[in-house]
Structures are given as structure tokens and as C-alpha cells.
Amino acid sequence: MKSYLAAAVQMTSSPNLEQNLAQAEELIDLAVRRGSELVSLPENFAFLGQEEAKIAQASQIAVSTEKFLKTAAQKFQITLLGGGFPVPAAENQVYNTALLIGPNGQELSRYQKVHLFDVDLPDGNTYLESKTVKAGNKLPEIYKSEELGNLGLSVCYDVRFPELYRHLSKQGAEVLFVPAAFTAYTGKDHWQVLLQARAIENTCYVLAPAQTGNHYAMRYTHGHAMIVDPWGVVLADAGDAPGVAVAEISPNRLAQVRRQMPSLHHRMFG
């Protein structure tokens, strides 16, 4: 593993697939111009609209998005995470799928979101992800890269389930992806502290690309795409507007923190 720059992209995606992919490409370009070799896109980056529309367009979204990710990774010569997009699973259901693509356009890792967001919030919004999304049934695997380190995938609501990240750290994870479309209501209180907790307890870097702003109707997301270091320090925060958070991933810093706080060696259970 070498020192390199990574980017967590922040978008305001909409129900328009073509516009979303164009926005994503502009922000990938921005991240690359700032020196990023590893770029991560948020959950729902390709489509963020009504559930009925998502199901109706799922096949088109899946095909177009996978082609986009492979083409963009090759064009910009980066490793690219598409942090969650619908892939048809069964009748009227999709997998919320995160896909990691290498600079040669080849698939490196694929993860189907396991924890589904079925929550009735006090702000008047009800989310029932399981109505249209089929839960994955496998824990994510680590992608081991000599240059970028050991990369572990997750998606959004997973961040509230520390056992998933403990599984990744036991496999040797050094960088954890948490692409999200975190609600504005929960994000203001929980987003940053959850990311810091996952970084600290696993002594890993966390890359958390995010959605921000108003997407359609009453759907608002929190923003604040960020990169957190293994000590829990927020290295970069994209704020409230579309953009990128860029920071260095350093093997020396990772080793230093793991020497100072060797908690991964002190685990008693699991």
C-alpha cells in the first residue's frame, strides 16, 4: 500500500438517469484533477426518485450505470466505486448494488446491500426500502490492492450495524466505503458520529460519499460526504453542496494508529 489521494463525491441526484451520470462524470473529473486515484460515488448516484419509477426503469438503470462505471474508470484511469444502484433481482424487486471497478474497466468487487432502511421518521417521512429492494444475503468481501490497500464495501444503513465492519476488519480491511443517501433528519445527529465510530473501532480509513439537498418531493438528504482517518479525525468534509471531499490515505498513519491503539489484537469475542 502506498500513500495516495482518495475522493468521496457528493451529489444531488434526481429521477433523471442521464443528468445524474453527467453530474457524476463532472465530479469524477474534478476529483481526478485534484489528484485522486480512488474515487467513490454515493448511494443512488444514478437514480434517486420514486420507488415505482425505479422499478420501472431498473433494467435500463442497471445496464447504463454499469457501462458508465467501467467507461469512467478506464477514461480517468482510477479505481471507482459506484456506491449503490438498482440491479433487477426478482419481479418488482432489485438489489441495491455497490460495484468497485479497476482502471482497466474490470469489476473488482460487488456487494448487495444487506440492511434495508425501513423507518418511520418523526419529520413525516416513511421509508420502506424492503418494498422494492431485495436484501443481499452475503457479507461483503475485501478487495486486496497492493497499491490502494484492503478495501471493504458497505452501503448507507449498514453503518448502524458494527458487526458488518468488524467482519471486514477481521479480513484485514484498511479502507471502508460507506456510500450513502442519509436522510436530513437522521444525518444531522448521527452521520458523522457513526462514521467516526466505525473508523475508530476498526482503526480504518472511512470513505463516505453522500447525497445532499432536495431530490424530489419531500426527499432531502444530509450531505457532508467525508473522509475519516483511523483515529477518527475528519480529514475532509464536502459540506452541503455538490462537490468532492479529497484526502490522503497514508499507510504510515494507519500503522501509527494501530501501534498506538492495538485494539484489533485485543478482541476477545469474534
Residues designated as active site: 43, 113, 156
Q: Locate cell 438528504: which residue?
A: 221
**119, 45, 70, 254 alpha-carbon torsion, rounded to 10°:** -70
Chain mean position to CA 5:
16
Nearest of 50, 26, 180, 46 to residue 117 by alpha carbon: 180
User: Left if phi > 0, otherwise alpha if psi is -120 to 50, otherwise beta: which for 149?
Assistant: left
Beta pairing class for 149-152 and 175-177 = parallel
Query: H or E segment at 70?
Result: helix 58-76
Q: Locate cell 473488482: which residue?
A: 108
Rounded-to-integer distance, Cα 90 and Cα 132, Å: 10
Rounded-to-integer distance, Cα 244 and Cα 236, Å: 9
DSSP-derived secondary structure for 201-268: HHT-EEEE-EEEEEEETTEEEE---EEE-TTS-EEEE-TTSSEEEEEEE-HHHHHHHHHH--GGGS--
Rounded-to-integer distance, Cα 202 and Cα 166, Å: 7
Rounded-to-integer distance, Cα 64 and Cα 66, Å: 6
DSSP designation for 141: P
Q: Are 113 and 132 in contact (CB under 8 A)?
A: no
